[in-house]
């Protein structure tokens, strides 16, 4: 069905204009003033509202076997929660572990999402080891349109790679123009610190942050950048959490390394005092890298404003408090890592970045959508509202005030890490390739219409 969105303020990363937008056959076909539409067109009045390109979350975990359990969302619940929060596409970490065959893992992740996701999706292919067959397997993954990889320097012997393997992955990536996303914390140092703290009887969630200090993450960024420099690959640091790590990324860029920086919404909104909450409440806030200091949060916000930080993702990794986080009741190293946020990212970024901060609407769109599209070979199909772009559109109501709460969320999880915080706006209408999936803030769409998006190599 054709769709006409009238009277809104269209905001893209490079400007804004009051105009109507008309969509047909899944794409934007006309933008202009006082557009007319044939009979039968669905017309939405966006007066007093913003019209944004659909937001893209470049780092989520949906199917995630991890730390002896599974993340709670599936592609049905996770994608609907994403849509309720204005995210029309996510890039999921496809994470077969070291014991699995990579290509079988890739097919497994794809089959779990197909027909279940209600928003569009793609994958970063995690490479957890390097074997004789890996290059051939990666050729197949690339040919399938999955054009970015993920490596972990953390989580040794599970997702983590050794240095020679890192070198091989990056050499392959450099040769083929693939962007490699990296979790840079050093697995050995973290593990040694964990053992030291536990031996001292320090078992609570408040010890998670001290077990993985900011400078260890920063050293990891430097380590990754050193390998990028040698191999000529293009890198992207995921969930960079602190000022020292950001400084390391800036230094690498000055040396000519192509390096993207991703911040995630928990690191922007919360600080480590949350993970220090008594009575095991802090476990809700255990993620890696950990929540840091207020000064680190501020450094990330400054980096977002100045352009040093490229994207805002979630690292959505939902584990129930009652049944799952409690696995680490007597040992913080066993608390499943992750803070769910796929539904709340854009509303938090709008509330605390735009409404109560000094992020411009354009920059909000850039870090919430456009830059992810540019970094990962989707632009201007996604991340833009141009004639020819996918009709992924968010009509955003800046007057829809409320609070973040487990009571009102769609995420399949028994808590909300931002419980009780104010929200200053909310998506009113959300479309995926012209399909109205959310209207009046409710999911009204078709389940399972999300497409696997094949991507070009980013330029
Ligand atoms: O705490 C986190 N980040 N959990 C998900 C796995 C990862 O490291 O991204
Ligand atoms: Zn990670
Ligand atoms: Zn992650």
Tell me the percentage of the chain whose pLDDT exceeds 90: 98
Angstrom CA distances, 3 to 24, 48, 155, 320, 396, stand at: 7, 19, 47, 39, 17
Q: Which fold has domain 55-375?
A: TIM Barrel (3.20.20)
Has residue 12 got a pLDDT over 90? yes
Atom of ligand 1 at shortest range from CA of 183: 8
Ligand 1 centroid–CA 143 distance in Å is 27
Substitution site in 64, 262, 338 for ligand 1 pocket (most atoms within 8 Å of beta carbon):
338
The domain locations on the chain are 3-52+381-398+425-443, 55-375
Cα(423)–Cα(400) distance, integer angstroms: 8
Residues 86-102 pLDDT 10s: 999 999 999 999 999 99
The ligand placed nearest to the CA atom of residue 182 is 2
Cβ of residue 337 lying under 6 Å from some atom of ligand 1: yes
Ligand 3 centroid–CA 387 distance in Å is 33
Residues 192-235 pLDDT 10s: 999 999 999 999 999 999 999 999 999 999 999 999 999 999 99
Ligand 1 centroid–CA 54 distance in Å is 24
All residues at 6 or more sequence positions from 348 whose CB lies less than 8 Å from its CB, including other chains: 265, 268, 269, 341, 404, 418, 421, 423
Cβ of residue 193 lying under 6 Å from some atom of ligand 1: no
Ligand 1 centroid–CA 39 distance in Å is 49
| pLDDT given for residue 85 in this prediction | 98
Residue 194 is inside which H or E element, if any? helix 187-199
Ligand 3 centroid–CA 433 distance in Å is 27
With tokens 């928003």, the residue in question is 119
| pLDDT given for residue 91 in this prediction | 99
Cα(417)–Cα(340) distance, integer angstroms: 7
Angstrom CA distances, 105 to 96, 151, 333, stand at: 5, 15, 26
Residues 169-197 pLDDT 10s: 999 999 999 999 999 999 999 999 999 99
**Residue-level length of the chain:** 459
The ligand placed nearest to the CA atom of residue 64 is 1
Cβ of residue 262 lying under 6 Å from some atom of ligand 1: no
- Average pLDDT across the chain, whole number: 98
1 pLDDT band, cuts 50/70/90, is confident
Ligand 1 centroid–CA 7 distance in Å is 41
Has residue 265 got a pLDDT over 90? yes
The ligand placed nearest to the CA atom of residue 59 is 3
Judged by DSSP in three states, 317 sits in: coil
All residues at 6 or more sequence positions from 131 whose CB lies less than 8 Å from its CB, including other chains: none
Mean pLDDT of 320-331: 98
Cβ of residue 288 lying under 6 Å from some atom of ligand 1: yes
Cβ of residue 97 lying under 6 Å from some atom of ligand 1: no
Mean pLDDT of 315-341: 98
The ligand placed nearest to the CA atom of residue 67 is 1
Judged by DSSP in three states, 371 sits in: helix
Atom of ligand 1 at shortest range from CA of 152: 8
> What is the CATH class of 3-52+381-398+425-443?
mainly beta
Q: What is the pairing mode between strands 259-264 and 311-313? A: parallel
Note the Cα 319 to chain centre separation in Å: 17
Ligand 1 centroid–CA 173 distance in Å is 23
Substitution site in 158, 239, 291 for ligand 1 pocket (most atoms within 8 Å of beta carbon):
239
Q: How many CB atoms lie within 10 A of CB 32?
A: 11
Atom of ligand 1 at shortest range from CA of 71: 5
Judged by DSSP in three states, 259 sits in: strand
Between the two ends of the chain, the Cα-to-Cα distance in Å is 34
Ligand 1 centroid–CA 290 distance in Å is 10
Has residue 19 got a pLDDT over 90? yes
Cβ of residue 217 lying under 6 Å from some atom of ligand 1: no
All residues at 6 or more sequence positions from 72 whose CB lies less than 8 Å from its CB, including other chains: 318, 319, 320, 324, 340, 412, 413
Substitution site in 154, 160, 237, 317 for ligand 1 pocket (most atoms within 8 Å of beta carbon):
317
**Tokens for 197?**
């703290």
Residues 373-407 pLDDT 10s: 999 999 999 999 999 999 999 999 999 999 999 99
Q: In 249-386, which ranges are E strands?
A: 259-264, 311-313
Of 163, 106, 104, give the one whose Cα is nearest residue 129. Answer: 163
Cα(229)–Cα(235) distance, integer angstroms: 10
| pLDDT given for residue 198 in this prediction | 98
Substitution site in 60, 61, 240, 335 for ligand 1 pocket (most atoms within 8 Å of beta carbon):
61
Cβ of residue 317 lying under 6 Å from some atom of ligand 1: yes
| pLDDT given for residue 457 in this prediction | 87
Ligand 1 centroid–CA 349 distance in Å is 20
Q: Are 102 and 428 in contact (CB under 8 A)?
A: no
Cβ of residue 151 lying under 6 Å from some atom of ligand 1: no
Cα(298)–Cα(301) distance, integer angstroms: 5
């Amino acid at each position: 069905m054709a769709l006409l969105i009238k009277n809104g303020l269209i905001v893209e990363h490079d400007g804004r204009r009051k105009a109507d937008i008309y969509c047909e056959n899944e794409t934007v076909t006309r933008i202009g003033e006082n557009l007319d539409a044939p009979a039968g067109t669905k017309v939405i009045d966006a007066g007093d509202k913003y019209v944004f390109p659909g937001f893209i979350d470049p780092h989520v975990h949906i199917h995630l076997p991890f730390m002896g359990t599974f993340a709670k969302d599936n592609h049905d619940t996770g994608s609907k929660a994403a849509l309720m929060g204005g995210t029309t596409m996510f890039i999921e970490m496809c994470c077969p572990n070291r014991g699995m065959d990579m290509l079988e893992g890739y097919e497994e992740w794809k089959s779990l999402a197909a027909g279940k996701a209600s928003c569009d999706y793609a994958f970063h292919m995690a490479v957890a080891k390097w074997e004789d067959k890996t290059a051939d397997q990666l050729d197949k993954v690339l040919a399938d349109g999955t054009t970015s990889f993920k490596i972990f320097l953390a989580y040794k012997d599970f997702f983590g790679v050794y240095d020679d393997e890192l070198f091989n992955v990056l050499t392959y990536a450099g040769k083929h123009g693939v962007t490699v996303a990296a979790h840079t914390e050093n697995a050995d140092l973290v593990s040694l610190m964990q053992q030291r703290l536990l031996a001292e009887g320090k078992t609570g969630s408040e010890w998670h942050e001290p077990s993985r200090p900011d400078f260890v993450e920063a050293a990891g960024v430097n380590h990754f950048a050193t390998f990028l420099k040698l191999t000529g690959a293009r890198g992207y640091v995921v969930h960079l959490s602190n000022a020292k790590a950001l400084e390391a990324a800036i230094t690498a860029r000055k040396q000519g390394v192509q390096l993207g920086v991703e911040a995630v919404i928990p690191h922007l909104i919360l600080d480590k005092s949350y993970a220090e909450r008594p009575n095991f409440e802090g476990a809700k806030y255990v993620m890696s890298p950990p929540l840091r200091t207020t000064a680190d949060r501020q450094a990330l916000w400054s980096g977002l404003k100045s352009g040093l930080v490229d994207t805002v993702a979630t690292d959505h990794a939902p584990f129930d408090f009652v049944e799952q986080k409690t696995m680490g009741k007597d040992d913080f190293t066993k608390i499943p890592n992750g803070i769910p946020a796929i539904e709340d990212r854009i509303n938090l970024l709008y509330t605390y970045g735009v409404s109560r901060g000094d992020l411009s609407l354009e920059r909000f769109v850039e870090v919430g959508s456009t830059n992810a599209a540019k970094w990962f070979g989707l632009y201007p199909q996604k991340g833009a509202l141009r004639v020819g772009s996918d009709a992924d559109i968010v009509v955003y109501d800046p007057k829809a005030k409320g609070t973040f709460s487990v009571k009102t969320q769609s995420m399949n999880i028994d808590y909300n890490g931002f419980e009780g915080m104010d929200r200053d706006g909310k998506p009113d209408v959300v479309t995926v390739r012209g399909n109205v999936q959310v209207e009046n803030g409710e999911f009204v769409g078709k389940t399972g219409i999300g497409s696997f998006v094949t991507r070009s190599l980013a330029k």
